[in-house]
Chain A
Amino acid sequence: MSQQILEHVEKSYLKEKVPFFEIGDNVDVHTRILEGTKERIQVFSGVVIARSGSGSREMFTVRRIVQGEGVERKFPLHSPKIADVVVKRHGIVKRAKLYYLRDRVGKATKLKERRVKKTG
């Protein structure tokens, strides 16, 4: 019963349309940031290596290499600050958490591309 009540509370804070992406996808994450009084969109692009949590607490982790240094950012999926998540490229992966990418450097970090037939 209490779980249903919590789900009911979270429901009103969930996004109506959750951007669709999968583990191993290359994505552009558009985040709204406030600069003084002006709002602008900042883009963080990289590979989705994990999704965690459920309901309004769901998070996803994006990893990229900046100047030879691995950078990971964890975003709350349902946060109003996340404007959009655009999928650039699908990757072929066999697990839900791609933490093995942390131990790899250079070319080995690249995932094989999964071609998706465009429909419609």
Chain B
Amino acid sequence: MSTGILGRKVGMTQVYDESGRAVPVTVIEAGPCHVLQVRTRERDGYNAVQLGFADKPRRLARRSERGHVAKIESARSRSRADAGVEVVGKAGAEPKRYVREFRGEAGDATVGQEVKVDIFSEEDSVDVTGTSKGRGFSGVMRRHNFAGQRASHGVKKVHRHPGGTGCSAYPSRVFKGKRMAGQYGNARCTVRNLKVVGVDAEKNLLLVEGGIPGPNGGFLVIRKTNMLK
């Protein structure tokens, strides 16, 4: 069985737990996903389960994408069949918008199998990976929480600048990794150990406590947490 699932951020809201505490939760539409491929060490060099989430209209999917999820008749497939080449199993699903692999032993996962959110019903916490909201080319105050410089007392035009970076005679250079202005956001980002508040297998919903990266509607990878207890 797969160790994770793919999903989409729906939005945030607030629910109450048994003790009456208001809990901020993120609602994730998780699955149902199809197993598109099972990677094995013998054939691919590593073990993994490949999942696909969210159907893509066939008119937008490339032929390779359509061929990845279902069998397509072609001259080549016919000639290969005539030659007696064994055909790799296909999921028999619609083309998918979001395809990701989960490394690890496949276990009882088979191609075409449906993975639903109930794999997390016994789970206490999960890790969620998404793409953070892009903030463009940002200065050091926004990007690294630098304090900036003073508003007055002789500071001119450099109120939001980082200040000195290279010190003096020693080392007379800027150290590698010095935090500076640059692209902020729109990067892969994982939040670990988010508490699972609820699993709605019927509606394919997963509720986790707290925020997760990315905008509403952003695609996510959700795994069982790798945090040690």
Q: Write out the residue numbers on chain A whose beta carbons fall within 8 Å of the beta carbon of B217.
A: 2
From A32, A57, A80, A81, contact of B13 by CB (8 A): A57
* 19 further A-B pairs in the complex, CB-CB below 8 A; given A6-B10, A6-B11, A9-B27: A2-B10, A2-B11, A5-B10, A5-B11, A5-B203, A5-B205, A6-B27, A8-B203, A8-B205, A9-B13, A9-B200, A9-B207, A10-B15, A13-B16, A32-B20, A56-B14, A57-B13, A76-B22, A79-B22
Smallest CB-CB separation from B12: which chain A residue? Answer: A6
Q: Write out the residue numbers on chain B whose beta carbons fall within 8 Å of the beta carbon of A70.
A: none
Q: Write out the residue numbers on chain A whose beta carbons fall within 8 Å of the beta carbon of B113.
A: none
Q: State A56–B25 Cα separation when bound (angstroms).
A: 12
Contact with B along A1-18 (1 / 0, CB 8 A): 011011011100100000
Residues B202-218 near A (CB distance < 8 A): 203, 205, 207, 216-217
From B14, B20, B25, B29, contact of A5 by CB (8 A): B29
Smallest CB-CB separation from B17: which chain A residue? Answer: A80
Query: Separation in Å of the A8 CB from the closest CB of chain B?
Result: 7
Task: Report A's interface with B, CB cutoff 8 A.
Answer: 2-3, 5-6, 8-10, 13, 32, 55-57, 76, 78-81
- Tally of chain B residues near chain A (CB < 8 A): 18
From B16, B27, B200, B216, contact of A80 by CB (8 A): B16
Specify which of A2, A76, A81 lies most central, judged by the most chain B CB atoms within 10 Å of its CB. A2
Q: Write out the residue numbers on chain A whose beta carbons fall within 8 Å of the beta carbon of B16.
A: 13, 56, 78-80
List 10 A-B pairs, minimum CB-CB distance, nearest first. A81-B20, A80-B20, A2-B10, A13-B15, A5-B10, A57-B14, A6-B13, A6-B11, A9-B27, A13-B16
Q: Write out the residue numbers on chain B whose beta carbons fall within 8 Å of the beta carbon of A57.
A: 13-14
Q: Write out the residue numbers on chain B whose beta carbons fall within 8 Å of the beta carbon of A81.
A: 20
Query: Separation in Å of the A61 CB from the closest CB of chain B?
Result: 16
- Docked-complex contact B27 and A5, CB < 8 angstroms: yes
Smallest CB-CB separation from B22: which chain A residue? Answer: A76
Q: Write out the residue numbers on chain B whose beta carbons fall within 8 Å of the beta carbon of A80.
A: 16, 20
Q: State A97–B205 Cα separation when bound (angstroms).
A: 36
Query: Separation in Å of the A6 CB from the closest CB of chain B?
Result: 5
Q: Write out the residue numbers on chain B whose beta carbons fall within 8 Å of the beta carbon of A9.
A: 13, 15, 25, 27, 198, 200, 205, 207
Contact with A along B13-39 (1 / 0, CB 8 A): 111100010100101010000000000
Residues B92-123 near A (CB distance < 8 A): none
- Docked-complex contact A56 and B20, CB < 8 angstroms: no
A-B contact pairs, 18 of them (CB 8 A): A5-B27, A5-B29, A6-B11, A8-B203, A9-B25, A9-B198, A9-B200, A9-B205, A10-B13, A10-B15, A13-B15, A32-B20, A56-B15, A56-B16, A57-B14, A78-B16, A79-B20, A80-B16
Q: State A2–B203 Cα separation when bound (angstroms).
A: 12
